[in-house]
Amino acid sequence: MNRIDLEGRRAVITGGARGIGLATAERMLESGASVVLWDVDGAAIDEALASLADKGLTGSGPGGGEHGERASGTVVELTDEASVDAAARQALAAGAIDILVNNAGITGGNGKTWELEPAIWRKTLEVNLVGPYLTARALVPSMIAAGYGRIVNVASIAGKEGNPNASHYSASKAGLIGLTKSLGKELAGAGVLVNCITPAAARTAIFDQMSQEHIDYMLSKIPLNRFVEPAEVAAMIVWLASEDCSFSTGAVFDISGGRAVY
């Protein structure tokens, strides 16, 4: 595995306690960064930090944290402005945040558009789209002041193609792609680059929110005939979060196993 240079960088990773978020934390720690895991589940954060410590990834470095100086975690409700702002203040009090990975998301289950409950539709948009807006709102000003930053938004192939029986999820991820493009243009002269990725499905705990029929549908659409591994997604995220990514902003990077046609 190649090592991308993130020495001295600090990252906030939303949904960092499991799945793609935790895989990204591991890869960033291996690359020299410090990480702050934001997640709604405090017990999962504790388990994730213990796991990272057991792997010897949380040695000395900036950032603070009971399980090691290079990893810490905060319970955050990403749909709540006050919760996000408080977590941002806490993170920034320990040092600059150079990287924001907006990974947290929910599927909201499956159903025809007209059969989905409005509350589920709204909740999916709140977590998957409003959440990244609130985290950017809280952390972007400090990146502008520092003259450096990298933001990576985890969208989905569903945001490009629109999965049937998942209009709420597809719409939220399409919105995240649009947010990425707008924010990237707004920050283009500030030294802060904003990009997003559009993965095919990864077999993580999020599968528990989907029907087996929908899981089978997603697999049938992937030419490589397998689901993407969280570590594969993490590798792309970490490159986009590094100084090696220097001339891409507002861009959409595909990692769908050949499913995407644009």
> Catalytic amino acids?
169
Query: Is residue 180 within 8 Å of 156, Cβ to Cβ?
Result: no
The type of residue at 223 is P
- Rounded CA-CA distance 248/251 in Å is 6
- Cα 249 off chain centre by: 16
Give the residue from 151, 150, 169 showing the smallest Cα distance to 159: 169
- Rounded CA-CA distance 200/184 in Å is 23
Distance, first Cα to last Cα, the chain: 28
- Rounded CA-CA distance 247/242 in Å is 11
Instruction: Indicate the DSSP class of residue 237.
Output: H
